[in-house]
Structure 1
Amino acid sequence: MLQSRRIAHLDMDAFYASVELLRYPELRGQPVVIGGGRNATPETLPDGTRRFQRLRDYVGRGVVTTSTYEARAFGVFSAMGMMKAAQLAPDAVLLPTDFDSYRHYSRLFKAAVATFTTQIQDRGIDEIYIDLTDVPGEPREVGAAIRQAVRDATGLTCSICIAPNKLLAKIGSELDKPDGLTILTPADIESRIWPLPARKVNGIGPKASEKLTSLGIDTIGDLARAAPEFLQTHFGLRYATWLKEVAHGIDDRPVVVSSEPKSMSRETTFERDLHPRDDRPLLSETFTRLCVRVAEDLQRKGYVGRTVGIKLRFDTFETVTRDLTIPAATADAAAIRRAATECLKRVPLTRRLRLLGVRVSALTLAGAQPAAVEPFQPDLFAAPGGDPAEDASEPHA
C-alpha cells in the first residue's frame, strides 16, 4: 500500500542566490556568494551600472549563506567560513543577504504549489513535501506542471522528485539539479540510490557517516548489503534497524500538513567581538532590532508567546541562555525587549560577545484583537544587547 503513494519533494535551486540574480541579472553565469554584510551592497555608478564587491576584499568571520552553482564549482558552499571561501574563489562577487526578499519568493512558490493540492508540508524557506497521491495525472506530467507554475510565479527554477515516500523523494530531488524532474519507483533503488554515499540519507550525520566509512560501508548499497547483526553490534538495535530500512527505501512517514511552531527567534553573529561597555550603542541598537524582528515574525504568522529568552555566545565560545515567562502572551516588540533585558541582567556582561539572539516560545495563536503596542523608551533598558557588523539572520520557527 505504501508503494501506491506519490510523494514529492520540491527544492528551490540555489534559492537565495537565484533571487539575487533576479535583482542583478548581469551576474548570471558568474560565481556569486551570498552572506556579506551591509557593506557588500552594490554601488550604483553615475552611468547606471553597478560596482560589486569581490570576495577577495572580505575581512571578517562571517559564513557563506549560499552560492551560485558557478561558485560551487570552486568548492564554495553554504556554512563555509567566508575567509576560506575567499581563498577558493577570490574573484567571486559578494552580495549581502536579504531575507525579506527570500521570504517573499518563498511565499510565492508555495502559493503556486497550493493551487494543485493543500497536502503540503513546509520544510523551510526553500523546500516542501507534497502528497500527490490524490492528484490526477501521470507523475511526470504533474511534476512538470508544478515546476512550470513555480517558474511562472517566481521566475525561478526548482527541482522535484516524485517517489513512493519522503525518504526517496528527498534524496531524488538532488539527483538532477538544477531544474530537474526525477521520478523514482522501488525498481530504481538499486540503480539510482544504492551507488550514492550513505551520508545522502537524511538522518545519517557526519559522525555516523564517519563510523560507517571506518567499517567499510561507503554507499547506501553497502549499507543495504551489510548484515543486520553487524550493524546492531556497532550501532545498537534501534538505529541499526532504521539503517537497514532506509537503505532499502522503506519510509512510512506521512506528509504532515499542519505543524505549530514551538518558538520563533532571531540571532546574529558579529564579525568582530563586541565589548558590552565599549560597544554598548552598537549592541543596544541591534538588541532592539532583533526584538522588533521577532515581534514582526510573530505578528505575521499570527502568534503570541509567554516565554522570552536570550542567547549569548562569548569570545571564549561559551554559550549562555536565559528565559523569562511573562504574565501575558505577547507579540509586542517593546514587551519582548523589556523581558529580554531582564534576562540580560541575569548574565555577567564582562566578556566580549560573538553572538546575540532573542527568542519567544510557549506560543499560542493570537486573539482577534491585537494587543496595544507600547512605544520604546530610550532610558527603559539598563543592559545592552547586540549589534552586528552583519545582520543577516533568518528567523527560526
Structure 2
Amino acid sequence: MDAFFASVALLRFPQLKGLPVVIGGGKRQADLDLLEAHGEREPRFIPIANFPLLEGYVGRGVITTASYAARQFGVGSAMGLMKAAKLCPQAILLPVDFEEVRHYSRLFKRIIRDIAPEVQEGGVDEVYIDFTEVAGGQREGGRVLARLIQKAIQEATGLTCSIGVAPNKLLAKMASEFNKPNGISIIHTADLQDLIWPLPCRKVNGIGPKADEKLAAIGVKTIGELAAQAPTLLIEKFGKATGAWLHAVAWGRDDRPVVTHSEPVSMSRETTFSRDLHAVRDKAELGEIFTTLCQRIAQDLQNKGYQAKTIGIKLRYDDFKIATRDLTLDAYTCEAVAIRRAAGQCLKRVPLEQRLRLIGVRAGSLIKLGSELAAVSNGDQASAAEQGLGLNLGISDQLF
C-alpha cells in the first residue's frame, strides 16, 4: 500500500491532500484540542491552518510514514520527529489512528483474497500473492490481474497500492518499490542484470545496515558487485548460511513459497516514554503503563484465540542498553492477571537503578485456544479467579 498510514489519515482529512503530512508519535494535547475545538464539525471541514505543525516538535517520537509531498524534503519512515522537524517544519503532524489502519488493512486484504485467494500477509500494509493458478493471471505477464487488484482496492477504499510482479517473492518485493505510488512493475528472470544488479545492496529485503557495512568493506556496494563475489568468500565473511543466502539473492534466486497460513511465534506490546522514568520515583506512572501493556497482551491473545506459557519483559535504559527476561509458567494463560504477575516476577530479575526509556511485555510459547492443553489451563485460571485474584496486585507484589 502507498504511504499507508498517511493515506488512511487523508481519507479522514482530505483537505490535506498534496501537503506534507507526517504520521507518528502518540496523541498530543494539540491533537485533542483540534478535535475538541471543532466539536460536531466533520473532520474534512477543519481549516488547514488549524492543524498542528511539525515545527518545534520536542520528544522522542518517530515517523511511521510520511506523505509523498513530505518525502520530497528528505523525511521518511523511522526518522526521529525532531530531525524531521528541522527538514520540514511546515509539515502537518498527525498521530497514528490504529483503529482505522487495522480496519483498512483488513478491508484491502479481503478484496485481494476475493480475486486471488493464495495470499500471505507481510504486515499491516503488504501482502504476497501467488496467482499461478488464478484464471487469466498470466495475461500480459500479470499486468491485467495487477490492474484489477488496484482498481478493486481503490474503488472500495479510496486508497492506492503499488504492485510488483516477478517469478519469486524476493524480486516481487523489490519490483513493488520501482514505480510508487500506484504503479505496476514486472520483472522477468532475464531482467536481472539490467534492473536488479545496478541497485544498492540495501534494496534486498534482509540486507540491513550492518551487513551493508561489511559488504562495503570488501568493495561491494551494488547487487551486481555482490553477484560477482565467489560464494566461498561470502561464506568466509558472513558464515555458511548467510553467505550462501547473499550469493543466491544476488542472482535473484528465492524458493520461498507463498504461505497462506502460519501460527504466530509470540505477541508483544511496548511503549517508549516521552521522558525517562525511574522505577522508584515514577513507580505509579510506570505501574499503570506496565499493567496496561499486560492487559493489551491479554486482549491480543484472546482476540486471536491463543494462550501463552512464556511471559517476558524488555527494558531499554537511558543509555540505550537493553535488558530482557522471561518466565515459563506452569500452565498456559491468556488472562491479564497471570500475565501481569509473571511479568512482575521478571522485573525482579533486572537492575532498575537506571532510568528507563522503554518497556515492553511479550507472550511466547503460544497454543491455540480449544486444544487439550488449553482446556487444562482454563481450569487452572478458573481456580485462580475463584481465589479473588485481580489486576490490582499491590506494590508489595510488584516492583511497580
TM-score range, shorter chain: 0.7 to 0.9
Query: 1:3 corresponds to which residue?
Result: none
Any residues of structure 2 matched to 1:210-229 within 5 Å, and which?
A: 210-228=213-231
CA drift of 1:381 comes to 4.8
- For 1:265, what is the secondary structure of its paired residue? strand
- For 2:23, what is the secondary structure of its paired residue? strand
- For 2:358, what is the secondary structure of its paired residue? strand
CA drift of 1:378 comes to 3.3
- For 2:310, what is the secondary structure of its paired residue? strand
Query: 1:4 corresponds to which residue?
Result: none
- For 2:69, what is the secondary structure of its paired residue? helix
Q: Deviations over 1:175-226 (max 9, x none)?
A: 0111111121112222221221121112222223223334333222233344
Distance 1:132 1:202 in 2: 22
Distance 1:158 1:67 in 2: 15
Query: 2:81 corresponds to which residue?
Result: 82
Distance 1:106 1:356 in 2: 27
- Equivalent of residue 198 in structure 1, options 197, 201, 205: 201
- Equivalent of residue 351 in structure 1, options 351, 354, 359: 354
Q: CA RMSD in A?
A: 2.4
The one-letter amino acid paired with 1:286 is I
For normalisation by structure 2, the TM-score amounts to 0.86
Query: 2:22 corresponds to which residue?
Result: 33
The one-letter amino acid paired with 2:392 is P
Query: 2:3 corresponds to which residue?
Result: 14
- For 2:106, what is the secondary structure of its paired residue? helix
Distance 2:391 2:172 in 1: 51
The one-letter amino acid paired with 2:206 is G
The one-letter amino acid paired with 2:283 is R
Distance 2:76 2:161 in 1: 18
The one-letter amino acid paired with 2:317 is F
The one-letter amino acid paired with 2:287 is S
The structure with more helix, counted as a fraction of residues:
2
- For 1:267, what is the secondary structure of its paired residue? strand
CA drift of 1:377 comes to 4.4
- For 2:289, what is the secondary structure of its paired residue? helix
The one-letter amino acid paired with 1:194 is W
For normalisation by structure 1, the TM-score amounts to 0.87
Distance 1:267 1:60 in 2: 17
Judged with a 3 Å threshold, the aligned counterparts in structure 2 of structure 1 residues 333 and 224 are, in CA distance, closer, same or farther, namely: same
CA drift of 1:239 comes to 4.0
CA contact (8 A) 1:158 1:180 kept: yes
Judged with a 3 Å threshold, the aligned counterparts in structure 2 of structure 1 residues 241 and 285 are, in CA distance, closer, same or farther, namely: closer
CA drift of 1:305 comes to 0.7
Judged with a 3 Å threshold, the aligned counterparts in structure 2 of structure 1 residues 314 and 215 are, in CA distance, closer, same or farther, namely: closer
Judged with a 3 Å threshold, the aligned counterparts in structure 2 of structure 1 residues 24 and 378 are, in CA distance, closer, same or farther, namely: same
Higher relative contact order (CA 8 A, sep 6+): 1
Q: Deviations over 1:2-54 (max 9, x none)?
A: xxxxxxxxxx1111111111111111111111112221526034594252221
Distance 2:226 2:71 in 1: 29
Q: Deviations over 1:373-397 (max 9, x none)?
A: 9684435354355xxxxxxxxxxxx
Q: Deviations over 1:137-176 (max 9, x none)?
A: 1111111111222223322111111110111101100001
Q: Deviations over 1:75-117 (max 9, x none)?
A: 1111112211111111111111222221221111111111123
Distance 2:242 2:350 in 1: 39
CA contact (8 A) 1:287 1:384 kept: no
Distance 1:352 1:204 in 2: 33
Query: 2:126 corresponds to which residue?
Result: 127
Q: Does 1:259 align with 2:267?
A: no
Q: Deviations over 1:219-273 (max 9, x none)?
A: 2223334455655565556544433322221221111222111110000111210
- Equivalent of residue 154 in structure 2, options 146, 151, 170: 151
The one-letter amino acid paired with 1:30 is L
Judged with a 3 Å threshold, the aligned counterparts in structure 2 of structure 1 residues 72 and 126 are, in CA distance, closer, same or farther, namely: same
CA contact (8 A) 1:52 1:93 kept: yes
Any residues of structure 2 matched to 1:1-397 within 5 Å, and which?
A: 12-39=1-28, 40-41=30-31, 43-44=34-35, 45-46=37-38, 48=41, 49=46, 51-137=50-136, 138=139, 139-228=142-231, 231=234, 234-235=237-238, 238-367=241-370, 376-382=390-396, 383=398, 385=400
Which has the larger displacement, 361-370 or 271-280? 361-370
- For 1:253, what is the secondary structure of its paired residue? coil
Which has the larger displacement, 372-381 or 139-148? 372-381
CA contact (8 A) 2:348 2:399 kept: no
- For 2:55, what is the secondary structure of its paired residue? helix
The structure with more strand, counted as a fraction of residues:
1
CA contact (8 A) 1:34 1:67 kept: yes
The one-letter amino acid paired with 1:212 is L
Judged with a 3 Å threshold, the aligned counterparts in structure 2 of structure 1 residues 152 and 46 are, in CA distance, closer, same or farther, namely: closer
Which has the larger displacement, 235-244 or 181-190? 235-244
CA contact (8 A) 1:311 1:357 kept: yes
Gaps of 5+ in 2: none
Judged with a 3 Å threshold, the aligned counterparts in structure 2 of structure 1 residues 216 and 122 are, in CA distance, closer, same or farther, namely: same
Gaps of 5+ in 1: 1-11, 386-397
Q: Deviations over 1:293-320 (max 9, x none)?
A: 1112111211111111111122232322
Judged with a 3 Å threshold, the aligned counterparts in structure 2 of structure 1 residues 36 and 203 are, in CA distance, closer, same or farther, namely: closer
Distance 2:38 2:100 in 1: 26
